Amino acid sequence: MHVSGYSCTQCQRVQGADYTGYVCPDCGGNLDITYDYESILKDRPRDLLFPSERSDIFRFLPFLPLEQATSAPPLPVGPTPLYPAKRLGEAAGLSAVFLKDESGNPSHSFKDRASAVVLARARETGAQVVAGASTGNAGSSMACMAAAVGLPCVIFIPEKAPPAKVAQLLVYGAHVMAVRGTYDDAFDLCARVCEEKGWLNRNTGFNPFTREGKKTCSFEICEQLKWDAPDRVVVPTGDGNIISGIWKGMRDLHAAGFISRPPRIDCAQAEGSSAITRTVRRLRDADTSDRREDWSDVRIEPVRANTLADSISVDQPRDGIAAVRAVMESDGAAVTVSDTEILEAIIELARLSGVFAEPSAATAWAGLRKMAREKTVAQDERIVCLITGSGLKDVATARQAAGEPATVDPDTDAALTALERKGL
Residue 62 lies in a domain: no
- Mean pLDDT, range 53-65, rounded to an integer: 94
Q: What are 251-308's pLDDT values in tens digits?
A: 999 999 999 999 999 999 999 999 999 999 999 998 766 667 779 889 999 999 999 9
For 260, other C-beta atoms within 10 Å of its C-beta total 10
Estimate the crossing angle of helix 137-149 against helix 112-125, to 10 degrees. Answer: 40
Residue 328 lies in a domain: yes
Residue 176 lies in a domain: no
pLDDT at 44: 76
pLDDT at 289: 61
pTM of the prediction? 0.95
Q: Which residues pair with 154 in a beta bridge?
A: 131, 175
Residue 319 lies in a domain: yes
Estimate the crossing angle of helix 359-373 against helix 339-353, to 10 degrees. Answer: 90
- What does each C-alpha distance from 195 to 108, 189, 242, 322 come to in angstroms? 30, 10, 25, 24
Tell me the one-letter amino acid at 200.
Answer: L
Residue 224 lies in a domain: yes
Tell me the one-letter amino acid at 11.
Answer: C
| CATH number for the domain that contains residue 330 | 3.40.50.1100
> Domain range holding 300?
82-108+210-401
Q: If you write DSSP's letter for every residue of 71-114 in order, what string do you get?
A: GS-SS---PPPEEE-HHHHHHTT-SEEEEEEGGGSTTSBTTHHH
Percentage above 90 pLDDT, the chain: 80
Question: Which residue, among 195, 247, 244, 327, has the nearest Cα to 30 in the 3D structure?
Answer: 244
- State the first-to-last Cα distance of the chain, in angstroms, to the nearest integer: 61
Asked whether residue 411 carries a pLDDT value surpassing 90, the answer given is no
- What does each C-alpha distance from 45 to 50, 227, 290 come to in angstroms? 10, 16, 35
Residue 316 — pLDDT band, cuts 50, 70, 90? very high
Residue 394 lies in a domain: yes
**Distance in angstroms (rounded) separating the CA atoms of residues 287 and 302:** 22
- What does each C-alpha distance from 290 to 6, 261, 327, 328 come to in angstroms? 22, 17, 9, 5
Q: Is 28 left (phi over 0), alpha (psi -120 to 50) or beta?
A: left
Q: What are 364-381's pLDDT values in tens digits?
A: 999 999 999 999 999 999
Asked whether residue 177 carries a pLDDT value surpassing 70, the answer given is yes
Q: What are 204-242's pLDDT values in tens digits?
A: 889 999 999 999 999 999 999 999 999 999 999 999 999
**Distance in angstroms (rounded) separating the CA atoms of residues 58 and 40:** 15
**Distance in angstroms (rounded) separating the CA atoms of residues 68 and 84:** 34
Residue 290 half-sphere exposure, CB side, CA atoms within 13 Å? 14
Residue 358 lies in a domain: yes
Domain count, the chain: 1
**Distance in angstroms (rounded) separating the CA atoms of residues 252 and 259:** 9
Q: If you write DSSP's letter for every residue of 219-268 in order, what string do you get?
A: HHHHHHTTT---SEEEEE-SSSHHHHHHHHHHHHHHHTTSSSSPPEEEEE
Q: Which residues pair with 175 in a beta bridge?
A: 154
Q: What is the mean pLDDT of the chain?
A: 93
pLDDT at 410: 84
Q: Which residues pair with 35 in a beta bridge?
A: 3
Residue 54 lies in a domain: no
Handedness of CA 56, 59, 63, 64 (dihedral sign): positive
